[in-house]
Chain A
Amino acid sequence: GAGVSQSPSNKVTEKGKDVELRCDPISGHTALYWYRQSLGQGLEFLIYFQGNSAPDKSGLPSDRFSAERTGGSVSTLTIQRTQQEDSAVYLCASSLNFGTQYFGPGTRLTVL
Chain B
Amino acid sequence: EDKVVQSPLSLVVHEGDTVTLNCSYEVTNFRSLLWYKQEKKAPTFLFMLTSSGIEKKSGRLSSILDKKELFSILNITATQTGDSAIYLCASTIQGAQKLVFGQGTRLTINP
Interfacial residues, chain A to chain B (CB-CB below 8 A)? 4, 31, 33, 35, 40-45, 48, 50, 56, 58-59, 89, 91, 95, 98, 100-106, 108
Contact = CB atoms under 8 A, between A and B. Distances in A.
B74 to A, nearest CB: 15
A33 B97 contact: yes
Interface in B38-63: 40-45, 48
Interface of B: 4, 6, 34, 36, 40-45, 48, 88, 90, 96-104
B98 A42 contact: no
A4 to B, nearest CB: 8
7 contacts: A41-B103, A42-B104, A43-B101, A101-B45, A103-B43, A105-B42, A106-B42
Contact of A59 (B34, B90, B98): B98
A45 B99 contact: yes
Given A91-B43, A105-B40, A106-B42, A42 B97 contact: no
Contacts, number: 59
A99 to B, nearest CB: 9
Q: Is the interface of B mostly helix, strand, loop or mixed?
A: strand
B44 A103 contact: yes
Nearest to A43: B101
Contacts of B102: 42
Contacts of A89: 41
Contacts of A91: 41-43
Contacts of A41: 103-104
Given A42-B88, A43-B90, A100-B48, A33 B98 contact: yes
